C-alpha cells in the first residue's frame, strides 16, 4: 500500500505525511509545474502543466489497495474502479456506494451555475483545526480498514 496525493493546493499534505511516517507507508505527492513542492518524507513527482495531467499521472501510479487523497470526484471514481481507496480532504471517503450520487450532485450544481451565468463558486470557507482533526481521524480509520 502507498498513499498518493493529488497535491495541487492540497491542505492536508503534512497530516498525510505525519500519519504515513508513523505507519511506515510510502507517500507520493503529485503536482503540476505551477505547484512545486518539496518533502523530506514523500516522493514528489512534478508533472508537466496541462489540463488533467496530474490526474492522469495519478491514475497511472495508482494500484489496487492504495489510498488516494483527492478532491476531484472524477479521479475518485476512476481510482475506485482500480480497487483503490479514496478520501477527500474533508475526511469523507469515496466509495462505490456514494460516488455516483456525488458525481450527479456535482453535475447538477454546475448546470445550475451555468444557467445563472455563473462559472465559479464562492471561495471555500477557511480551513479550521477541527477540519484537520476530522481528516486525520478519517485517514487513520481508512488505513486500518485497508490493512484488515
- Per-residue pLDDT reduced to its tens digit, 13-28: 999 999 999 999 999 9
Q: How confident is the model at residue 135 (pLDDT cuts 50, 70, 90)?
A: very high
Residue 85: strand pairing partners: 67
Closest CA to 131 of 14, 17, 7, 12: 12
C-beta atoms surrounding 8 within 10 Å: 18
3-state secondary structure of 36: coil
Domain span holding position 42: 3-147
Number of structural domains found in the chain: 1
pLDDT at 82: 96
Whole-model pTM?
Answer: 0.88
3-state secondary structure of 31: strand
pLDDT at 36: 75
Rounded Cα distance between 87 and 71, Å, is 8
Rounded Cα distance between 48 and 33, Å, is 6
The rounded radius of gyration (Å) of the Cα atoms in the chain is: 15
pLDDT at 114: 72
Mean pLDDT on 99-128 = 72
C-beta atoms surrounding 9 within 10 Å: 10
pLDDT at 107: 58
Mean pLDDT on 22-36 = 92
pLDDT at 29: 97
Where residue 143 sits, what CATH number does that domain have? 3.40.50
pLDDT at 20: 98
3-state secondary structure of 45: strand
pLDDT higher than 80, residue 123: no
Amino acid at each position: 500500500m502507498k498513499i498518493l496525493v493529488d497535491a495541487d493546493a492540497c491542505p492536508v499534505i503534512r497530516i498525510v505525511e505525519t500519519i504515513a511516517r508513523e505507519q511506515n507507508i510510502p507517500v507520493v505527492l503529485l503536482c503540476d509545474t505551477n505547484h512545486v513542492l518539496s518533502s523530506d518524507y514523500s516522493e514528489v513527482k512534478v508533472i508537466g502543466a496541462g489540463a488533467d495531467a496530474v490526474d492522469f499521472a495519478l491514475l497511472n501510479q495508482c494500484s489496487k489497495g492504495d489510498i488516494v487523497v483527492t478532491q476531484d470526484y472524477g479521479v475518485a471514481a476512476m481510482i475506485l474502479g482500480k480497487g483503490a481507496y479514496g478520501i477527500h480532504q474533508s475526511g469523507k471517503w469515496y466509495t462505490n456506494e456514494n460516488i455516483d450520487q456525488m458525481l450527479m450532485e456535482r453535475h447538477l450544481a454546475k448546470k445550475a451555475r451555468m444557467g445563472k451565468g455563473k462559472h465559479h463558486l464562492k471561495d471555500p470557507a477557511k480551513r479550521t483545526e477541527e477540519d484537520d482533526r476530522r481528516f486525520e481521524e478519517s485517514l487513520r480509520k481508512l488505513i486500518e480498514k485497508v490493512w484488515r
